[in-house]
Amino acid sequence: GVVNLIKKGDKVIIPVNGEFSSRLSQMLEWAGASVIKLETQPGENASFETVKEAFDNNKDVKAFYCVWNETSTGTMINYLDRVKDLTSRNDSYYVVDGVSIVGGEELKVDKWGIDIAMTGSQKAFAAPPGISPIVVNERTKKYMIENPPHTMYFNLPRYFKYYEESKHTPFTPALPLLYAYREALNMILEEGLDNRIKRHRTCSDALYSGLSAIGLTPFAKDDSRSTVVIALNYLEGLEDKTFRNTLAQKFRVLVAGGFGNLKGKVFRIGCMGEVQRYHVMRTISSIASTLDLMGYNVDAKAGLKIAEEKLKDL
Amino acid sequence: GVVNLIKKGDKVIIPVNGEFSSRLSQMLEWAGASVIKLETQPGENASFETVKEAFDNNKDVKAFYCVWNETSTGTMINYLDRVKDLTSRNDSYYVVDGVSIVGGEELKVDKWGIDIAMTGSQKAFAAPPGISPIVVNERTKKYMIENPPHTMYFNLPRYFKYYEESKHTPFTPALPLLYAYREALNMILEEGLDNRIKRHRTCSDALYSGLSAIGLTPFAKDDSRSTVVIALNYLEGLEDKTFRNTLAQKFRVLVAGGFGNLKGKVFRIGCMGEVQRYHVMRTISSIASTLDLMGYNVDAKAGLKIAEEKLKDL
C-alpha cells in the first residue's frame, strides 16, 4: 500500500490519532513522502472539514491515506463515503487501511472512489492470521506497473504479472492459511454481508450501552466510536493488570489493555468476526462480576437488561 | 537479511549463478550496496579461489552473501566452512541464504563463522510454507540494533526488542504455521539431525547414480551438485511439458521444469524433507517408464539396481 504507490517527495495527507495511524505515517515518511499529518487527540478523529481544509491548502497532494479503524483507541472514521469529493479534484489516490474492520462494517470500495483498500485475515474476517488481503483498482494498478517499486517481496506489479500469466503468486504462499481464508470467506457469504455488518453494529451498540449502564464510559468521542473495537475508560483507581487478569483467569474473558500512554487508562474489547449475542452478554456479566469482586458497586442487571434489549434486533 | 544489514554504499561480494542468487544480488543493489558479483555459468559455482581473489581485491568489503543451494539449477556451494578465513580478515559479515537446504545438509553456523543464516519452513524442514527462520549472532544483532533499518515489517531490532520484553513478535504472527513448524522441528529431533543429513545425502546419491544409469546426465558440475535438488538435462528431443505431464498424470510424480533460459532444457527433482527410500525408487521407476512410453529405450533395471545398492546405507 505504501511502497507500491509512494515515491520520494510525494505529498500525502493522513489523519493521525493513535498507534496504527502513527505507524502508517512513519512508513510514508520512510518511503520518502512529504507527510501532512492531521493530528488529533486519541479518541477523536480529524473532522471531514479538517481533511477538506488540508486538500484546499495542498492542491498538489498525491494521495490520502487513512486508518479506517484505529484499533489502539477504538475510533472509526465515518466519512469514508465523502473523501472522493476531495481526491477527485486532482485525481489523487485514496487509500484505506481497514485492517481490523473490513468484513464487519460497510465498505463500498468502488462507489466511494477508494483506490487501494487492505485488511488482515484475523480480525473481522475471522480467519487465522497471516494473510493481508488487498484490493487495487485498475488505474492504480496501471500506475504501479508503470512505476514499479524497488522491492523484491511486496512488489505488486510482480503479483499482477504472475497472476495474469498463471494465476500463481510470485513466491510460495502460506497455503494452509489460504484454505482457511477461503473457508472464512464462504462463511461470510453464508451469513450474508449485510447480516454480518448488522450483527457487528448491534453487538457493539449493546456493549457500549450495557457497559455504560454499569458505570463505565467509552473512551472514544460519540461521533468517532468504532463498531468493532470498544475502548472504555477505567474507573478511578481501577488497576489494569488486576482487572484484566481476574477477567481472564476467573471468566476466560480476554480484553486488551491500552497502547502507549493509554496503558492503564483504558481497556479494549474486540467485537469482531464471530461476535454473537452470547459474547456480549457474557462479557458484560463477567466485567460486572469482576468489578464487584474488586469492590466496586455496579448494577449488572441494568447493563444486561439494556444489552438484551439492543440484541433483540439480531 | 539484506535491509537489516546493508546501508547505502556498502561493498558486498556475492556468487551469482542462477535465479535465486540473481534475486539476492538485486535486493542488495536496491538496498544501495555496491555489489561485486562473482558470476559463473548456471550449473557451476564460483570457486573458493575466485571468492578469495575478490576478498584480496576488496579489503573494504562489508559482507559476503551467498545462496548456499541454488534451487534453480541444482548446485550447492561446498566451501561454506572455509569462508571465515576471508571474512575474518576485516570482520566483514558472512550471510548464508539456506532456503532450500537447511535441515537437509550440515550447517555449522557458529563454527563456520556465519553471522546470519536464513531458510524457509517448506523445504528441508518439511513444514508448511509461510515461515522464514533466521539466526543472527550477537555481534550482528548489536550492529542491527545500533543501525536500525527504515522498515516497519522486517525490522529485526524491533523483533529483538519485543522478544526480550515479552517473548512476543511485533506483529500478530501466522500462529497455525508456528504450531506446525514446532511439530516439524520435533520430528527432526526425533530422527536426529545426523541421520537426517545422511538420509538426504544417500537419497540424492542414489538419484544421481540411478538416473545416470538410465541415461540421464546431471546438469550441475561434479563438484557443485546439490544434495537436495537434483537437476538433470533432458535427453535430445525430449519435450518438457509432455514428459512432466505424463509423469504427473500417470504416476503422480511431480518434478519441476527449468527456470528462465533453462526452461525445456532441464528438469529438477526435489530430494528434501520427507524424502525416503521409496521416493527414490518410485521416482527412478516412474521416470524410466515415462521415457519408455515416450519411445526412448532405457534400462530401468540398471538404474534401480544401483539406486538400491546406494540406499543400503539407510
| Last residue in a domain, options A140, A173, A206 | A173
**Can you read off the three cell numbers belonging to residue B305?**
539396481
Is B114 in the same domain as B217?
Answer: no
The verdict on residue B105 lying in a domain is yes
Q: What angle do CA A23, A25, A27 make, to 5 degrees?
A: 70
The verdict on residue A251 lying in a domain is yes
d(CA A37, CA A18): 12
- List the helix and strand counts (H, then E) for chain A: 10, 12
Residue in chain B lying closest to A174 (CA) = B130
The verdict on residue A180 lying in a domain is no
Residues of chain A in Cβ contact (below 8 Å) with chain B: 23, 26-27, 30, 120, 122, 128-130, 150-152, 172-177, 180
Name the minimum distance, in Å, from the CA of B41 to any CA of chain A: 23
DSSP string, A197-211: HHHHHHHHHHHHHHH
- The H-or-E segment that residue A69 falls in is strand A69-70
Mutate to test the interface with A, among B2, B20, B118, B152 (most CBs of A within 10 A): B152
The pLDDT of residue A201 is 98
Over residues A296-307, mean pLDDT: 96
**Can you read off the three cell numbers belonging to residue A91?**
485525481
Is B103 in the same domain as B204?
Answer: no
The pLDDT of residue B132 is 95
Domain that holds residue B253: 192-311
- Residue-wise pLDDT for A164-184, tens only, equals 999 999 999 999 999 999 999
Over residues A186-195, mean pLDDT: 98
The pLDDT of residue A279 is 97
Chain B contacts of A124, Cβ < 8 Å? none
Is B22 in the same domain as B137?
Answer: yes
The verdict on residue A124 lying in a domain is no
Q: CATH no. for residue A94?
A: 3.40.640.10
* Per-residue pLDDT band at B261 (split at 50, 70, 90): confident
d(CA B115, CA B113): 6
**Axis-axis angle for helices A277-293, A193-213 (nearest 10):** 20
Residue B126 has pLDDT above 90, yes or no: yes
d(CA B141, CA B152): 17
Chain B contacts of A128, Cβ < 8 Å? 174-176
| ipTM here | 0.89
Residue A312 has pLDDT above 90, yes or no: yes
The verdict on residue B180 lying in a domain is no
Residue A59 has pLDDT above 90, yes or no: yes
Is A24 in the same domain as A157?
Answer: yes
Q: What does the DSSP 8-state code read for residue B237?
A: T
d(CA A255, CA A287): 10
Chain B contacts of A130, Cβ < 8 Å? 130, 173-177
Polymer length of chain A: 314
Task: Give Cα A293 distance to the centre of its chain.
Answer: 33
Q: CATH no. for residue B276?
A: 3.90.1150.10
Is A142 in the same domain as A16?
Answer: yes
Q: What does the DSSP 8-state code read for residue B115?
A: S
Phi, psi of B16 (to 5 degrees): -130, 120
d(CA A221, CA A236): 19
- Residue-wise pLDDT for B280-313, tens only, equals 999 999 999 999 999 999 999 999 999 999 999 8
Residue A104 has pLDDT above 90, yes or no: yes
Contact residues for B74 (Cβ-Cβ < 8 A; gap 6+): B43, B218, B219, B220, B225, B226, B229, B230, B231, B266, B268
- Residue-wise pLDDT for A25-38, tens only, equals 999 999 999 999 99
Q: What does the DSSP 8-state code read for residue B130?
A: S
Is B220 in the same domain as B155?
Answer: no
d(CA A89, CA A85): 7
The pLDDT of residue B234 is 96
* Per-residue pLDDT band at A186 (split at 50, 70, 90): very high
Contact criterion met (CB below 8 Å) for A272 and A124: yes
The pLDDT of residue A289 is 97
Residue B260 has pLDDT above 90, yes or no: no
Q: How many domains is chain B built from?
A: 2
d(CA A237, CA A235): 6
d(CA A155, CA A164): 15
- Residue-wise pLDDT for B198-233, tens only, equals 999 999 999 999 999 999 999 999 999 999 999 999
Identify residue A221 by its one-letter amino acid code.
K
Contact criterion met (CB below 8 Å) for B262 and B73: yes
The verdict on residue A197 lying in a domain is yes
Is A57 in the same domain as A203?
Answer: no
Is A250 in the same domain as A108?
Answer: no
Residue A261 has pLDDT above 90, yes or no: no
* Mean pLDDT over the full length of chain A: 97
* Mean pLDDT over the full length of chain B: 97
The verdict on residue B261 lying in a domain is yes
Name the minimum distance, in Å, from the CA of A175 to any CA of chain B: 7
Is B56 in the same domain as B165?
Answer: yes
- Give the closest residue to B30 by CA, choosing from A23, A148, A9, A33: A148
d(CA A126, CA A110): 24
Torsion over CA: A295, A298, A301, A307 (sign): negative
Is A100 in the same domain as A144?
Answer: yes
Is A169 in the same domain as A282?
Answer: no
Is A99 in the same domain as A166?
Answer: yes
The verdict on residue A2 lying in a domain is no
